[in-house]
Amino acid sequence: MIKFQKILLILFFSILLLNKSFSKNEEDIYQKIDLFSEVLDKINKEYVDEVNQGKAMDAAINGVLQSLDPYSAYMSPEMFDNMQTETTGEFGGLGIEVGMEAGVVKVISPIDNTPASRAGVKAGDYIVKINETQVQGKSLTEAVELMRGPVGTDIEITVRRVGKKKAIIFNITREIIEIESVKSKILDDKIGYLRLTSFNENSSEQIKNKIKEIKKDKKIKGYILDLRNNPGGLLSQAIRISDFFLDYGEIVSTKSRKSSENRKWFSKKGDLIDGKTLIVLINYGSASASEIVAGALKEHKRAILIGENSYGKGSVQSIIPLKNKGAIRLTISKYYLPSGESISEVGVTPDIEIEESSDGFAINTDTDNQLNFALKLLNG
């Protein structure tokens, strides 16, 4: 246990030296080291059970990262390996993007046509229990590990939903999650509808091809870009898709700790839909890259935004491998809209706010009052 205490002290001391927010003077640093040492000593001497040193070390590292923001986290070698191999077909998932809020796992967005979306999981739901395991106190990575498992196996998740007094229990069967990034169709014989569910490496090319197909119909008078329940993805794709609808101006900027790494991206001349009216649908499940597109189009007055306030995830994470073959997910920069406003924890506000009509609401169905309103607006 003495060795364990020394290791933790080295870890804690290193963190203090690297993070100026812990202290501005050396005396305060050493006071905090003394306090940490005292706490460890009490744990070693008086805690009721023997401490698992490995788990305690992981928790100490993870605690530091989670104190920074909801998206930074530590992955043990096993967790990192699982993350890298999750697309091999051996493991299945639920089809949700999740984050942390106040120590609880929060659903950022359920993805279209996945087990979670079909079961009725919604953006903003708080996952409090996975099978019989309480989620409170677990790291985001640990919670995700609990939700993963062999394809075809069942999982029970319990959620708390704002506005509902009782917890909601979902029984879901895990599947291989295959995301169809772009869907399109013509509505009311004259409205081009583009549904984008994620920003993967092929999304912009798919959107471009779908627009070309729709433009063959000469009766098209306007377009709807549906970004609801789109948790985001690649920044490069968000920039390119925004550029499809803009003729000029800044799209987005990122700011890092080092000013030399700050960047701005601008649109090039050429509007793929030839200046026709564009409506963008957003909701609380629209996050990250979705907010970049919606925010840029709104601020340049190129689109009318309809729906609900977006999620407010305006940061960029990088997976950084470690010597122990684990990794950390670390926030390395933040997004800013053309106005200079940050998306983080604020989101993008729609021009016309329309809440989902009822519990029976489903995107792109007869119960979709947000889409119906957009169609009515375009039809005049």
Please answer whether residues 143 and 104 qualify as being in contact, where contact means their C-beta atoms are separated by less than 8 angstroms: no
Query: What type of residue sits at position 63?
Result: G
Partners of 304 in beta bridges: 279
Q: What would the two tokens of residue 154 be?
A: 């069942």
Say what angle helices 140-147 and 77-85 make with each other, to 10 degrees: 50
Query: What type of residue sits at position 270?
Result: G
Please answer whether residues 155 and 131 qualify as being in contact, where contact means their C-beta atoms are separated by less than 8 angstroms: yes
Of 122, 313, 333, 356, catalytic: 313
Please answer whether residues 122 and 104 qualify as being in contact, where contact means their C-beta atoms are separated by less than 8 angstroms: no
Active site includes 255?
Answer: no
Of 109, 242, 288, 315, catalytic: 288
Query: Whole-angstrom Cα distance, residue 181 to residue 186?
Result: 18
Pairing mode, strands 168-173 and 154-160 = antiparallel
Active site includes 178?
Answer: no
Return the residue matching tokens 């729609």.
350
Backbone region of residue 152 per phi and psi (left: phi > 0; alpha: psi in -120 to 50; beta: other values): left
The sign of the torsion formed by the CA atoms of 179, 238, 327, 157 equals: negative
Query: Whole-angstrom Cα distance, residue 39 to residue 33?
Result: 10
Of 37, 299, 334, 344, catalytic: 299
Active site includes 288?
Answer: yes
Q: Which are the contacts of 277, defined by CB distance < 8 A and separation ≥ 6?
A: 221, 222, 223, 304, 378
| 164 alpha-carbon distance from chain centroid | 24
Query: Whole-angstrom Cα distance, residue 65 to residue 101?
Result: 14
The secondary structure of 236-296 as a DSSP string is HHHHHHHHHT-SSSEEEEEEESSGGG-EEEE--S--TTTT-EEEEEE-TT--THHHHHHHH
Q: Catalytic amino acids?
A: 288, 299, 313
